[in-house]
Amino acid sequence: MHLLMIVTTVTIACWLRFSGHIPQGNWHLRWQRSLFLFLFPPLLIFMTAISIVCMGTQGKMGGMYSGSFSYLLALIFLAFFNILGITLTFQGWKSIKSARECPLVNLAGKQARLLQTGALFAGQMGFWQPELVISEGLLQTLSPAHLESVLAHEQGHYHYRDTFWFFWLGWVRSCTAWLPNTEPLWQELLVLRELRADSYAASQVDPLVLAESLLLVVSNNPITSNICCAALGASDRLDQRIEALLTPTEPTSESQLQSWHIFLFAFLPLLTVVFHS
């Protein structure tokens, strides 16, 4: 019975990934849909594995005896997830430690770490309370107006806690890289993360100035890792970002946004523990 649960869950997860389509339109709608397609299937698999481990190898469910093979399979899944999580945490810690070795500077009343390189870079590094990291090359190249727009963009990443949430999303990506369309959805979420930060910055600075800053910075990003890092040039879909800045976005009503309640269905496998005896 437990093996049937695993097969059913994996089938549903693959079907959702294959049948789901990323919608067109503003980043609000794309974000909700893409996040569901990216996160719901792995969450369903994760909850199924937890429920099987909780039920153990003894007893029956639905009149069928439990087997040790499905229990062992679920245990291997969870161990694999945990090992990847520890690995990513260690890599993130090393990145943060490296950033904190850079000297502190004051920019418009805010502290930032100064990266001693001629490349153009600005990004947030850390978990829940990330630090702004900015390069010497950026300070020497950008005008005060352009620098202000870059700082506004990075404040957007800080406002949405992108480094924290994308650390966990990156963990999900690593755990379920074998699922269909994992990488395309991940890249879409990275683009939408930047569009969201751009939108936040555009409400505080001139969107045209921010677009000019993007053109200068996006092709000179020396940091390619997304672990605990949200950088101005993290996405290479520059045309989408420029177009979004120069084209007014239509307002999205709350009724159009997908409810978070739909993620509760991913926890349904936990109810099967009740029927195990």
Domain boundaries, the chain: 78-249
pLDDT for res 237? 77
- Which stretch of DSSP H or E encloses residue 208? helix 207-217
Query: How far apart, in whole angstroms, are the C-alpha atoms of residue 81 and residue 93?
Result: 18
Mean pLDDT of the 176-191 span: 92
Which residue, among 163, 166, 174, 158, has the nearest Cα to 229 in the 3D structure?
163
Distances (CA, A) of 256 to 28, 32, 51, 179, 214: 9, 10, 33, 28, 30
pLDDT for res 254? 46
**183 contact partners, CB below 8 Å, separation of at least 6:** 173, 177
pLDDT for res 222? 55
E strands in the chain: 60-61, 64-65, 104-107, 110-115, 122-125, 131-135, 229-231
Please determine, for residue 188, whether its predicted confidence score (pLDDT) is greater than 80.
Answer: yes
Mean pLDDT of the 231-251 span: 73
Asked if residues 67 and 20 have their Cβ atoms less than 8 Å apart, the reply is no
Q: Is 38 left (phi over 0), alpha (psi -120 to 50) or beta?
A: alpha
Which residue, among 92, 86, 85, has the nearest Cα to 228 in the 3D structure?
92
**Tokens (6 digits) for 97:** 């430690």
pLDDT category at 253 given cuts 50, 70, 90 is very low
Asked if residues 163 and 132 have their Cβ atoms less than 8 Å apart, the reply is no
**Tokens (6 digits) for 212:** 């000019």
Higher pLDDT among residues 221 and 243, named by residue: 243
How long is the chain?
Answer: 277
Please determine, for residue 256, whether its predicted confidence score (pLDDT) is greater than 50.
Answer: no
**Tokens (6 digits) for 147:** 């620098």
Percent of the chain at pLDDT > 90 equals 35
Backbone angles phi, psi at 175, to 5 degrees: -70, -35
Average pLDDT, the chain: 83
User: pLDDT tens, 205-220?
Assistant: 999 999 988 888 876 6
User: pLDDT tens, 65-99?
Assistant: 556 777 888 889 899 999 999 999 998 888 888 88
pLDDT for res 257? 46
pLDDT for res 31? 87
Q: Which range is least confidently modeled, 45-49, 185-189, 243-247?
A: 243-247
Asked if residues 14 and 39 have their Cβ atoms less than 8 Å apart, the reply is no
Percent of the chain at pLDDT > 70 equals 83
Neighbour order of strands in the sheet with 229-231: 104-107, 110-115, 131-135, 122-125, 229-231
Please determine, for residue 107, whether its predicted confidence score (pLDDT) is greater than 90.
Answer: no
Handedness of CA 74, 77, 79, 85 (dihedral sign): negative
Biggest CA-to-CA distance, the chain: 72
Query: How far apart, in whole angstroms, are the C-alpha atoms of residue 238 and residue 92?
Result: 26
